[in-house]
Amino acid sequence: MPGHDVPRMTTTTLSPTIANAQPASSTQSADFTPRYWLFAAPAVLVVATVIVFPWLFTLYMSGHDWKIGAGPEFVGLANFAELFRDARFIESMGHTFYFTSLAVVLPIVFGTAAALVFHREFPFRGVLRTIFVMPMMATPVAVALVWTMMFHPQLGVLNYLLSLVGIGPSAWVYSPDTVIPTLILVEVWHWTPLVMLIVLGGLAGLPREPYESALIDGANDWHMFRHITLPLVWPFIMVAIVIRTIDALKAFDTIFVITQGGPGTASETLNIFLYLQAFQFYKIGYASAVVVIFFVIIIMLSLLLLYARQKSKWNA
């Protein structure tokens, strides 16, 4: 992970390497920057069209009452005011919070544990790690379809497996009480490998010496984990926490395929609410206001991510 992040660029504003390596290039380096920008020019153009323009246009739409088919009508901040009076929106925020908190904590705990396991040498480690990583690579829609079949209350394999260990059938996604925990189960299955990979990257860079001296002092495994490993990989866990939070907030594919926000609105998260407002009710001004709120949350988390990455670099 070291050397692959933005913070490094912020710290070295003017490249000292050029100046030191060859003094003759001082006149040359003055016109480096514009030429380097030419390399990025096509990307700037594309990013401006497909990324920045949509953002600005969304901001514009959020100030308008706009249904697809009819024209826009300027309403100022009325969309936002309406959102905070919309019980369905408030409910979806609650669902998002519930879903996100567990869909962050559980993968972090399991992923860190898995990283500790896969950090050790053992037979078939490579193969087993590949299998372990597969869920995060698999097409979410394809996997969601299989989960849907597994959750079937009468014919699903999960209720059968539960019955084998003497637990009664669960309603899984068919009851408002169990739908969000069930979706969290799928999310944990899907994304624990990502946390594992990030933490594994942190473990790979750990120094040996602290462990050797701790062993001499007679420390046991738990002590070494608690007082050496955990503090050292904590910055990486922080990175994983922020990434998980962002991903869980915008989780869409599996929820949409498995429940479409149902039963009723019991699993309607912010992103599902947004989709329905925009592409089912065609209230695009209203939906854009949701996007703006979403965007503010994501930007704050992204800044947190940059900060966490910077810390993880210093400690690596």
Partner 1 sequence: MTRLLKKLGFFASVFVLVSPAVLVFLWMISLSFKNELDNTAFPPVFIPNPPTLKNYVDVFAQNNFALYLWNSVLVTGGAVLTGLAVGVPAGYGIARGKATKFAILILVARMTPALSYLIPLFLLFQMTGLVGTITALVITHLVITIPIIVWIMIGYFENVPIELEDAARIDGATTWQAFRHVALPLARPGIVVGGILAFIFSWNNFIFSVVLGGKNSRTLPSAVYNSLTFEQISWGPLAAAALLVTLPVLLVTVLAQREIVAGLSAGGLKDG
Residues 112-131 that bind partner 1 (CB under 8 A): 113-114, 117, 120, 122, 126, 128-131
155 lies in the binding site for partner 1 (CB under 8 A): yes
Q: Is the peptide bond before 193 cis (omega within 30 degrees of 0)?
A: no
For residue 6, state whether it binds partner 1 (rule: CB under 8 A): yes
Select from 22-30, 77-85, 97-105, 224-232 the region that touches partner 1 (CB under 8 A). Answer: 22-30
CB closer to partner 1 out of 27 and 209: 27
Handedness of CA 294, 296, 299, 303 (dihedral sign): negative
Q: Which residue of 105, 306, 311, 315 would you call a contact of partner 1, by CB under 8 A?
A: 306
> What's the CA gap between 58 and 65, in Å, rounded?
12
Site size for partner 1, by CB under 8 A? 109
State the binding string over 189-228 for partner 1 (x if CB under 8 A, else -): x-x--x--xx-xx---------------------------
Work out how close the CB of 259 gets to partner 1 at its nearest, in angstroms, rounded to a whole number: 13
- Our CB check for partner 1 shows the closer of 63 and 140 to be 140
Which residue, 171 or 246, is less far from partner 1 as judged by CB?
A: 246
Answer for which of 26, 40, 169, 227 binds partner 1 (CB under 8 A) is 40
User: Applying CB under 8 A, which of residues 81, 157, 167, 215 lies at the interface with partner 1?
Assistant: 157
The DSSP line for 204-262 is: HT--SHHHHHHHHTT--HHHHIIIIIHHHHHHHHHHHHHHHHHHHHT--HHHHHHTTT-
Tell whether residue 280 is a contact of partner 1 (CB under 8 A): no
Q: State both tokens at 251.
A: 């989780």
- Give CA–CA dist 207/240, Å, rounded: 21
Nearer to partner 1 among residue 198 and residue 228 (C-beta):
198
Q: Nearest distance from residue 274's CB to partner 1, in Å? A: 5
Helix (H) or strand (E) segment spanning residue 99 = helix 87-119
Q: Which pair of tokens denotes residue 182?
A: 């069930």
For the segment 80-109, give every residue that binds partner 1 (CB under 8 A).
none
**DSSP notation for 70-87:** SPPEE-TTHHHHHHHH-H
Q: Which of 46, 90, 167, 215 binds partner 1 (CB under 8 A)?
A: 46
Question: Would you tell me how many other CB atoms lie within 10 Å of the CB of residue 75?
Answer: 18
Nearer to partner 1, 87 or 127 (CB): 127
Q: What 8-state DSSP symbol labels residue 175?
A: S
What are the respective helix, strand and coil percentages of the chain, to the nearest 5? 75, 0, 25
Residue among 219, 252, 265, 311 that touches partner 1 (CB under 8 A)? 252
